[in-house]
Amino acid sequence: MLKRKALIPQLDMSDAEKEWVGMPEFVQKENPPFREIKIRFTCEEDVQEFAEKIGHTVTSKTTYIWYSEVPFKGRNVKRRYIDES
């Protein structure tokens, strides 16, 4: 049986700290909502009426929404980057 040479060199886990030497520090600041309000509905029609009034799509899988509109749409709506420079 032939041994193949690894295409990607194996890193020892103890070397992980060395890989980060000289990298800039990253600090994620909290960005909590101003206020959260729990809203309860008695039926699906009420949910859809509410969604229409606020201009959002609400499905059975929706667990939260931001109001007003998030300034961008797309696949990564839940991930927002804030440039503080």
C-beta separation of 45 from 56 below 8 A: no
Cα Rg of the chain (Å, integer): 23
The residue type of 66 is W
Confidence of residue 77 (pLDDT cuts 50, 70, 90): low
d(CA 36, CA 8) in angstroms, rounded, equals: 48
d(CA 72, CA 60) in angstroms, rounded, equals: 23
- The answer on pLDDT for 82 being more than 90 is no
Q: What are the tens digits of pLDDT across the range 19-41?
A: 777 888 888 888 788 899 999 99
C-beta separation of 33 from 42 below 8 A: no
